Amino acid sequence: MKQCTSCGAINSDHRSVCVDCGKRLGKPLSEEQANAVEEHLRKNTEKLYQGEDPLHIGLLDKIVGGLCILGLFLGLCLWLLGFVKEDGVGTAIGGLLAFFFGALESLAPELMWELEEMRLELFVHDATPCGMSFIFRRVAQVLTFLIGVVAFLIALFG
């Protein structure tokens, strides 16, 4: 890897002039320097992809989170009032758990990310939430809410 001294562009070893500005290139970087440059580039790329903070709590999060909390309370009330059928107890518990996790995922994304980070620690270090975790979070929120609703419909009427 060669780095242009006049514009900073990264060039491959076999180039003699800079791909960006056309200036003559010097000697290739040492392995240590090359690693530092790569690390820097990787971080910049990651930042680009993050765009919006994936852990930001937006309007949709508040709506879904609110619905999940509502479902949690409504479900608990219906259960305590004896509306859950005898063979629907397991399903009702599943529904409550789904609402609970939906609410956490929506309103406490940093907590959920910390859990995810603990899991990721097994494979990678200093992980940061990326664009994909933004989408996963959205999907998880809506899915857990829907699962909660369906579970309760089954527990009450199934």
Can you give the binding site for Zn ion, defined by CB under 5 A? 4, 7, 9, 18, 20-21
Choice between 7 and 76, CB closer to Zn ion: 7
For residue 15, give the amino acid letter: R
Choice between 10 and 143, CB closer to Zn ion: 10
- In the complex, the smallest distance separating the C-beta of residue 7 from Zn ion, rounded to whole angstroms, is 3
Query: How many Cα atoms occupy the beta-carbon half-sphere of 68 within 13 Å?
Result: 27
C-beta of residue 54 within 8 angstroms of C-beta of residue 23: no
Nearest-angstrom CA–CA distance, 102 and 151: 14
Choice between 1 and 9, CB closer to Zn ion: 9
Choice between 10 and 97, CB closer to Zn ion: 10
- In the complex, the smallest distance separating the C-beta of residue 101 from Zn ion, rounded to whole angstroms, is 51
Q: Tell the burial category of 114 from Cβ atoms under 10 Å away from its Cβ (0-12, 13-18, 19+).
A: exposed
Q: What is the 3-state secondary structure (H, E, C) of 88-145?
A: HHHHHHHHHHHHHHHHHHHHCHHHHHHHHHHHHCCCCCCCCCCHHHHHHHHHHHHHHH
Choice between 5 and 139, CB closer to Zn ion: 5
Virtual torsion, Cα 4, 9, 12, 14, nearest 10 deg? -40
- In the complex, the smallest distance separating the C-beta of residue 134 from Zn ion, rounded to whole angstroms, is 35
- In the complex, the smallest distance separating the C-beta of residue 40 from Zn ion, rounded to whole angstroms, is 17
Nearest-angstrom CA–CA distance, 98 and 79: 15
- In the complex, the smallest distance separating the C-beta of residue 23 from Zn ion, rounded to whole angstroms, is 5
